[in-house]
Amino acid sequence: MNEPATIRRIDATEAAASIEALADVLIDCVEGGASVSFMLPISRDTARAFWRNVSDGLARGERALLIARDHSGEIVGTVQLITAQPENQPHRADVAKMLVHRKARRRGIAHALMSEVEHVARAESKSVLLLDTVTGADAERLYQRAGWQRVGDVPNYALMPDGALCGTTFYCKQL
């Protein structure tokens, strides 16, 4: 079904209760080739540990977590806003780990997540957002259509899940 997803911010308690579903999304994205800090094979324990750490960061007020639920209530996407920044950058935040399960792509979920993360950033008094993505990836079109400014590329910045080097493109947005 191509029904739109429901996007909302969740707290540390709900994130902790959703670790298995969040792990499913992360594992699917990594297995689908997304360069999001993890290598193949990604274990469920690794994915769970990542989301426990995110939940702990939510509890400390260091980040915001948004989820996308499909018509059946299943978590099919997520994005984070990392609000904890150095003392001289209280106005800035990083957008991280934009993840949409492969079965839920091409439905506008990533666009909806990005729109809502900007809303959350404004509510958190953030006026400058940064993110990075694999150079040449489909996500670049999403960010450009959403008004993000390409700042620059770093060749061979990271590894794809299969170990191949990839470049990274950095984007910013003034809110």
Considering the domain boundaries, does residue 169 fall inside one? no
Considering the domain boundaries, does residue 135 fall inside one? no
Considering the domain boundaries, does residue 172 fall inside one? no
10-residue mean pLDDT series, the chain (175 residues):
83 98 98 97 98 98 98 97 98 98 96 98 98 96 97 98 98 98
Considering the domain boundaries, does residue 96 fall inside one? yes
Domain harbouring 14, CATH code: 3.40.630.30
Angle between helices 19-31 and 44-59 (to 10 degrees): 120
Burial of 159 (0-12, 13-18, 19+ CB in 10 A): middle
For residues 134 and 48, give the distance between their C-alpha atoms in angstroms, rounded to a whole number.
24
Number of structural domains the chain divides into = 1
Structural domain of 20:
6-126
Looking at residue 2, what is its pLDDT? 60
Considering the domain boundaries, does residue 160 fall inside one? no
Looking at residue 4, what is its pLDDT? 78
Considering the domain boundaries, does residue 36 fall inside one? yes
